[in-house]
Structure formats: C-alpha cells, structure tokens
C-alpha cells in the first residue's frame, strides 16, 4: 500500500479505523476496550474521527471531554504506563503503515502528548501523594 498525506476526513477515517483494529486485537490493551469498557464502536469511532480531524485538520466537530471517560475507565481498571506505551506503539505503527508527511508527523507528536498527559493524570489518581514531578529538559545539560 502506498503511503499518503493526511489531508481529509477519509484519511482520518482510515487512520482511526486501522488503529482501532489493532487495538481491539491487541493482547495487552484489547481487553480494556472489548471487555472492561465494552466500547460501542458504532458510537465511538465517529467521535474519534471528529477528535483527530480537529487535531490534524482543524475540524471543529469534536465537543467531548477527553479526560472524563478515561477517569471513569480508570475506576474500573487502573490505567497503567504499559497500557499507554502500547497505545502509542500501535498508533505510531498505524501512522507508519499508511501515512507520510507533515500531518503524519503532527499526528505522532499529538499522540505522544496525549499519552504523556493521560499518563500523568492517571498517575495522580492511581498513586496519590507521590508528587511525581515532570523533569524539565535542559538542552544544554546532556546527562
């Protein structure tokens, strides 16, 4: 399959559908979506199309709260770092498989940011009182 630029809603649909096909079949995180959250895919996928279209193509259809469903899910099963790592790994593999160009790079950057924010917020809930601080990167100090 020839890789292409992410330039329209059809590309977003391909990205989201291909990604979630990987997620649903994954040995590590598939059960979270299939058995714990019991995702209604007919409802969820269009929400994800709107979400990613907004992030990558400046669409304005997404009106949800990204964190709320994840906090609710985290009450059912603690969302651990390994789950976020796999989520990102599958997302990056999907991008690499289908897409190239500036928007593909942006998609990976946004996914990495989402992983970091989600992981940080879930850690605050799952490990209260640890006061983990995010280290600041100092480009002049190579440790």
DSSP 3-state assignment of 59? coil
The DSSP call for residue 136 is: P
Does some domain include residue 133?
A: no
Does some domain include residue 26?
A: yes
* Dihedral sign (CA 25, 29, 54, 47): positive
Neighbours of 70 (CB within 10 A): 15
**pLDDT, tens digit, for every residue of 33-73?**
999 999 999 999 999 999 999 999 998 889 889 899 999 99
**pLDDT value, residue 133:** 52
Domain that holds residue 25: 9-126
Binned at pLDDT 50, 70 and 90, residue 132 comes out as low
Does some domain include residue 121?
A: yes
pTM of the prediction?
0.87
Q: What whole-number distance in Å separates Cα of residue 18 and Cα of residue 6? A: 14
Q: What's 16's domain CATH number?
A: 1.10.490.10
Question: Are 98 and 1 within 8 A, CB to CB?
Answer: yes
């Amino acid at each position: 399959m020839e890789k292409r630029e992410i330039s329209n809603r059809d590309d977003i649909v391909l990205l989201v559908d291909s990604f979630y096909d990987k997620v649903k079949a994954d040995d590590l995180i598939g059960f979270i979506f299939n058995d714990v959250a019991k995702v209604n895919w007919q409802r969820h996928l269009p929400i994800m199309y709107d979400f990613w279209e907004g992030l990558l193509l400046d669409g304005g259809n997404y009106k949800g709260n990204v964190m709320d469903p994840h906090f609710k899910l985290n009450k059912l099963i603690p969302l651990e770092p390994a789950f976020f790592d796999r989520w990102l790994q599958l997302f990056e593999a999907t991008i690499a498989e289908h897409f190239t160009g500036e928007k593909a790079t942006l998609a990976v950057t946004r996914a990495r940011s989402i992983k970091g924010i989600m992981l940080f917020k879930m850690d605050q809930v799952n490990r209260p009182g640890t006061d983990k601080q995010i280290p600041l990167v100092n480009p002049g100090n190579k440790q």
